[in-house]
Structures are given as C-alpha cells and as structure tokens.
Amino acid sequence: MKSEFKEIIIKDNFYQSSSYFPMPLTLIGTLNEDGTLTSYGSYSLIFPYYIAGKQYYAMVLECRNTSNTAKGLLRHGKCTINFLPYSKKNFKQHVDNGFPGDTPEEKMKDFMFTPVDGVSQKEHPEEKYPKILDEALQVFECTWVKELDNAQNDKVQEEYDGPYHDFNGITSKYGAHFILRIDHILLKEKYYDSLINGATKHNFCPLPTNWGYRDSKDFWCSDFHKPDAVGIPNREIDLSSLRYAATRLNTDVQFTDDALKTIVKVPRPFLKLVLQGCVKWANENNVKVITEKEMKIIADKRSGEKKKK
C-alpha cells in the first residue's frame, strides 16, 4: 500500500529535530586559550564549500559561537578535521566530546585517541598548530579565512548581540560559521592507495554516518557497509557538436577533428570550460592549431598539476 507524505513543522536544528539527515562524523581539533593543548569537539555540520574555480579549496563549519571550537578558531584560526572509523566505543567518545559546557582540559581528561603533530606543525615548528589524531583514517588541516564577510575583527565573547555576519564568523546570537581553507588532506596509506589506484567495495574508506536525528536521550550513528558501484553512463558527444562548440569560442585557435575526438566523453555542461582551458594553454604557448598531440600535452600537464596538489 502506498504511503502518504505528512508535512512536519520545521524547528531549530531542523536537520535533527525535523528530519533524518546523513552527515559525516568528525572530531575537530582546536587549540585552547594559551595554545598548549588541543581539544576535540564532535561535529557533523562540516561540509565542502569551495570545490573548484577558486585559489584554494574550503570547508564550512557550523557551530555554537560559545563552543570551545568556535573560541579556538576565533583566537588561533586553525583546526584539524579528523574522520575516525566506527565502533560503539569510538562513537561513545564522539558523544562525550559533543557535550556542551566542558572546558578543553575536562574534554581531554580521559580522551581515548592519540593526538600527534600534523604536516602543518612539521612545516612550521616555530608556530603552534592543533594536533591530528593518529587513529583517524582521514584528516583535513585547515585555516579559517577570517577576512571573508569582514569577520577578521570577531573576538571571543560571553554573548553576541550583533551586528552579525551573513556567512562567516559570528552569524547569529547563538551561531557561527567558519570558512576553512584546506591546507592539507592526509589519508592512511590504504585509503590513499584506493584514491590513487582505484577504489573498490573492498578498499573503500569505511567512514560512519551520523543520521542527525536525536531525541532527549540518544544520538544515532550507523557503521560503514560495503558500497555499491554503478558505472558512469558511457555517452559520447558527436563530432559535429564538438566542432560547433569549438567554432563558437572567441578565438583564432583551431581544433583538428583528431583533437576533438579526445574529449568526446566530456559531459556537455563542462565542454566549454574544457575547450577554453585548451585555448588558454594554446595562447600561452603560441599554438594556433591544436591537434591530438597538443591535447595529450595539455592532459599530461593537468594530470601533473593534480598530483602536485
């Protein structure tokens, strides 16, 4: 029998009070007030923000503006985002570290994971950086981009009465958003290899899912299960469409048919961007006709840039 939808009232924290919302489960490390201790808070409201076309990549974190994490970012501007494997014991530590009101010293008193220096600390030993967790499967080391939304003057306060920013820094009486530039992404070797050499259901990174929903007594999280893979549709753009797209570019650079055949599988929404990238390379290298040979050079250059990143 078909089930009908029923509309629910949208409340504060709608992702957990008015819905089930799958999210990551992380421990975010920030420095205490004098920078001598890294404490960890549990967060799931941490998502990709800048993913392409900018000078850097970034995450956005949503949190209480009086949390240890918010205070650490306002004071020091650095954090680590630690993704850990699931176990009921690990999950209990996340729940304990998500309890509001504890000081950094109280949070770390019986902490079960192992803080170690990350890449940023090793690159800049004269500075202080939050530590990463040795048991994590994946870690992002980040810096708060405080100049965005003119948030650079936000300071730690007991209460915030405004004015508030729109998307970065103190954004409401109780909330804060932090745009976090990703400085380093670190992976344990097995999952580094799966990204570089090809992921399968057997070597996929086994990260848990926080389901958002909570009631007056429980948080809910689920273990990782082997994922299913469905192949990307093998659709090709016909050569006449590629020729038409190439001729519409505002350039005197020409593409041979052999060159265009190398990009027949590029999805249509990205075709103009790819062609413009090729033209940019041609202008930088005084090339007026792009053949299959030049397309290989461009592809190799792009591949090398990705590896450097």
pLDDT tens digits along 5-25: 999 999 888 888 888 899 999
pTM: 0.80
pLDDT tens digits along 45-80: 999 999 988 999 999 999 999 999 999 999 999 999
H or E element: which one contains 65?
Answer: none
3-state secondary structure 157-198: CCCCCCCCCCCCEECCCCEEEEEEEEEEEEECHHHHHHHHHC
Asked if residues 153 and 77 have their Cβ atoms less than 8 Å apart, the reply is no
- CA–CA separation, 309 vs 304, rounded Å? 9
Whether residue 266 has pLDDT greater than 90: no
Name the β-bridge partners of 84: none
Q: How confident is the model at residue 234 (pLDDT cuts 50, 70, 90)?
A: low
Confidence (pLDDT) at 186: 97
- CA–CA separation, 290 vs 263, rounded Å? 13
> Rounded to whole angstroms, what are the CA distances from 44 to 15, 20, 24, 188, 200?
10, 13, 5, 21, 25
Q: How confident is the model at residue 231 (pLDDT cuts 50, 70, 90)?
A: confident
Confidence (pLDDT) at 217: 76
Give whichever of 94-98, 156-160, 217-221 has the largest mean pLDDT. 156-160
- CA–CA separation, 64 vs 83, rounded Å? 20
Confidence (pLDDT) at 232: 66
- CA–CA separation, 137 vs 195, rounded Å? 13
